[in-house]
Amino acid sequence: MKNTLGNNVSVTLFGESHGTAIGAVVDGLPAGISVNEDFISHQLDLRRPVGKISTPRKEADKFNIVSGVFNGKTTGTPICIVIPNENTQSKDYSKTYGKARPGHADYTAFCKYNGCEDYRGGGHFSGRITAGLVAAGAIAIDLLSKKGVKIGTHISKCAGVEDDSFTEYESNINTLSDKMFAVLNDEKGGQMIKNIENAGAQGDSVGGILETAVIGLPVGVGEPWFDSVESVISHALFSIPAVKGVEFGAGFSCADMLGSKMNDCFTVTDGKITTKTNNNGGINGGITNGMPVIFRCAIKPTPSISKEQETVDFIKKENTTLSVNGRHDPCIVHRARVVVDSITALALCDLLSQKFGTDWLGDN
């Protein structure tokens, strides 16, 4: 099993949903970067369950940085962040072992790891593991912000309701940074929440689309082919368990556009080169062009639902049915947005260090 993302700056995830602890190791960051533990806590709070639209499982997420930070600054050695699991109910899963939950990795994990996998709560495949990713990403988000690079994600669509689009990027990003339910239009957000609650009351779940904007990236970041900005960010995003689709700029809609409409015409304003539109999402030839990098990712409905579904018992090799009990989210879109911000920040640190070197990421 490989659990590491990145080259110059990398993150490794460890732990299982119902194990003793989960966490992350960040390697490659230079010495001297300030680590704001209050900001890490804030980011973990954004991932926390919210009311009826989330799982009843409540974890304190009291993290402990056990290496790589001394006197509030990075030492240049690997940063290890440990988050204890304190609210597990493993008996919910022992009763149904061998029955493949539709949409989950139960069957594939059993085949890959010869039945030695920790199946409780999805084990290492659980969304619970993203807490370590958020803690590690908080360090990356904070250091990028000091470099003028800001990241913001909103719930573009959820439960059949569409949010407003980004307009004033920096202002929008600042507004979203403290929202537990990250929408630009609170009225539409309220309708999303009602629809999520209705689906949950029926034993079902919903998915959605998250839209992310990155501003302040220097021109010229990225490589033409295998380390293009799209390649690196997409690789990172598809590491999030619920992500099933990614598009940049106009994305799939460009298939129905004429070249004259899709092309972003260049212009000079106050001595700065920009484009009049941003259908390419701030990227040309795999390289940043100075415009906001815009992308969207599709989040599938939470697979754990209480409705009875057809499945198999892969131990007995026979057909059966399954109704998933336990504590589950009727929607994870609102919790996933901080995970998207976090893994995007880590991917960008790797891309930026490829161009400027890891020391560029250090405090000025």
Residue-wise pLDDT tens digits, 174-227 = 999 999 999 999 999 999 999 999 999 999 999 999 999 999 999 999 999 999
> Which residue, among 248, 278, 274, 273, has the nearest Cα to 263 in the 3D structure?
278
At 97 the pLDDT is 86
15-19, 95-99, 282-286: range with highest mean pLDDT: 282-286
At 133 the pLDDT is 96
- 3-class SS of residue 259: helix
Q: Can you tell me the mean pLDDT for 130-138?
A: 96
Give the containing element (helix H, strand E) for 319: strand 318-322
| Tokens linked to 58 | 């409540």
- The fraction of the chain above a pLDDT of 70, given in percent, is 95
The H-assigned helical ranges of the chain are 37-46, 91-94, 106-112, 130-146, 169-176, 186-201, 229-237, 259-262, 333-356
The residue length of the chain stands at 364
Is a pLDDT exceeding 90 seen at residue 272? yes
CATH class of 4-361: alpha beta
Q: Band of the pLDDT at 49, cuts 50, 70, 90?
A: confident
Q: Report the C-alpha gap between 138 and 121 in whole angstroms.
A: 25
> Which residue, among 195, 177, 176, 196, has the nearest Cα to 186 in the 3D structure?
176
Contacts 24+ apart (CB under 8 A), 115-123: 118/16, 118/17, 118/18, 118/19, 119/93, 120/16, 120/17, 120/18, 120/88, 120/90, 120/93, 120/94, 121/16, 121/17, 121/18, 121/88, 121/90, 121/92, 121/93, 122/17, 123/16, 123/17, 123/18, 123/19
The answer to whether 39 touches 45, Cβ cutoff 8 Å, is no
The answer to whether 213 touches 164, Cβ cutoff 8 Å, is no
Could you read off the pLDDT of 146-169 as tens digits, one per residue? 999 999 999 999 999 999 999 999
At 306 the pLDDT is 85
Q: Report the C-alpha gap between 149 and 40 in whole angstroms.
A: 18
The answer to whether 103 touches 93, Cβ cutoff 8 Å, is no
CB count, 10 Å around CB of 281? 24
The single-letter code of the amino acid at 205 is: S
Number of H-type helices and E-type strands within the chain: 9, 18
The answer to whether 318 touches 312, Cβ cutoff 8 Å, is yes
| Residue 283 β-bridge partners | 288
| Tokens linked to 305 | 């639902």
CB count, 10 Å around CB of 185? 15
At 125 the pLDDT is 83
Dihedral, CA of residue 162, residue 165, residue 170 and residue 174, to nearest 10: -10
